[in-house]
Amino acid sequence: MNLHDKLKDIDTYPFHMPGHKRNDKFGILGSEIDITEIDGFDNLHSPSGVIKNTEDKLKSIYKSERSFISVNGSSGGILASIFAVCNEGDTVIVARNCHKSVYNACMLLKLKIIFTEPQYDLTNGYYTNIKQDTVNSAISRHPEAKAVIITSPTYEGFVSDIKCDIPLIIDAAHGAHFGMPYFPKYPSGDIVISSLHKTLP
């Protein structure tokens, strides 16, 4: 059974959180399927049932080794990714157009940031894609770097196809639809973070 069907068919009264007890009279959108981590509904932090099945389906769709459902949007995933590959005081290579959550993680870990400049559209006033040569040059000048962090696709839809020998973290928050018919291929990196709610609904 998948998570959608399991939530749709809830027919018991909840004596657990959340406090609205799935009562739609409070006017809370989605309250009828809002539950906590209880038997039969899996545990996000150690999935083995319907959440694990959903992650396995996402792994297949995005052709990844593993897929994780996270909390706190892409920002939470970006923070977790940077903390996973860096220690306090490390050096990271960051594309100048990265989201503020990247800078938040860098600040919390006291990382040394080496900026790289994506291409810039002077007419419209925004960054486009970042070139492989730009990343190669930054890695060559800073072999101590622990990771490269880029945004692809950008919020305007520009894609950067980057390869490197150190961990590549890609903020693909606006690219959850990539890899599906009629769209570009899904970004390829060591860790890729997407927000399903931004583009798929």
DSSP symbol at 177:
T
Coil, strand or helix: which one is 58?
helix
Per DSSP bridges, beta strands 168-171 and 191-193 are: parallel
52 lies in the same domain as 77: no
Residue 105, CA distances (Å) to 45, 88, 192 in order: 21, 10, 16
Mean pLDDT along residues 152-171 = 96
Percent of the chain past pLDDT 90, that is, above it, reads: 67
Give the range of the structural domain holding residue 101, as residue numbers without chain letter: 73-199
Looking at residue 39, what is its pLDDT?
75
Of 98, 113, 104, 64, which Cα lies nearest the Cα of 83? Answer: 104
Q: State both tokens at 158.
A: 């520009």
Whether residue 185 contacts residue 178, with contact meaning beta carbons closer than 8 Å, is answered with yes
- Identity at 192, one-letter amino acid code: V
15 lies in the same domain as 114: no
Q: Dihedral (C-alpha) 186, 187, 189, 193: value to the nearest 10 degrees?
A: -90
Rounded to a whole number of angstroms, the CA Rg of the chain reads 20
Looking at residue 188, what is its pLDDT?
95
pTM of the predicted model as reported, rounded to 2 decimal places:
0.86
* 48, part of any domain: yes
Q: What is the CATH number of the domain that holds 96?
A: 3.40.640.10
Which regions of 64-193 does DSSP assign to beta strands (E)?
91-95, 112-116, 120-121, 126-127, 147-151, 168-171, 191-193
Average pLDDT over the chain, rounded to whole? 91
* 68, part of any domain: no
- pLDDT band at residue 40 under the 50/70/90 scheme: confident
Coil, strand or helix: which one is 24?
helix
47 lies in the same domain as 117: no
Count the domains in the chain.
Answer: 2
pLDDT for residue 44 is more than 90: no
32 lies in the same domain as 107: no
DSSP symbol at 149:
E
